A and B are shown apart, each in its own frame.
Chain A
């Protein structure tokens, strides 16, 4: 079983809609959770992190964490063409090392 799993997509949403990205993880002791955005040919960029159960909002992005279900999600509201990218979920199981999912590719169509 992979440590971090994401739907590979592609996820296609119309401009202005909500994009919903899901991620599950296997290590129940994980404490820190991150979402990165990676444009084609570029390095990953940290956009959100969350440590506690519940929701965390930052602009058009909302991260949701449910440790009991071992589930973390990212919502992108009012999706824009500039949001078209691959979104990587990452988890720290128990030490300094991040474990990454394979990523979900999002396409926002105008």
Chain B
């Protein structure tokens, strides 16, 4: 069966510090991968998605970036965090080929920028 991991689970960072969040998927190959952010009491905002190694699409202009160095690894980064970057960061995956498109979420990383 497929599983998705995210770490760290929680993170407290000062404004202006760098960020690296990691997501890995097990039990599937060539998944589509997604990064979402959920601000407190808000809906899910799609940040990036990737259909393959090195292929990244950005949905929202911001100080965040994403990379996919391996088939089942997706990384979210920032060089300098802003207060507005606080939120619940969720990685999700779906089957890469045409199909039902159900997305499955990882456990999330709760980021607080102070």
Contact = CB atoms under 8 A, between A and B. Distances in A.
B106 A32 contact: no
B43 A102 contact: yes
A97 B46 contact: yes
A32 B102 CA distance: 9
Contacts, number: 46
Main secondary structure of the interface of B (DSSP, over half): strand
Nearest to A99: B46
The size bracket of the interface on B is 20 to 34
Given A88-B43, A96-B32, A46 B101 contact: no
Contact of B100 (A32, A97, A98, A100): A32
B41 to A, nearest CB: 9
Interface residues of A, number: 20
B100 A44 contact: no
Contacts of B102: 34, 46, 49
Contacts of B106: 43
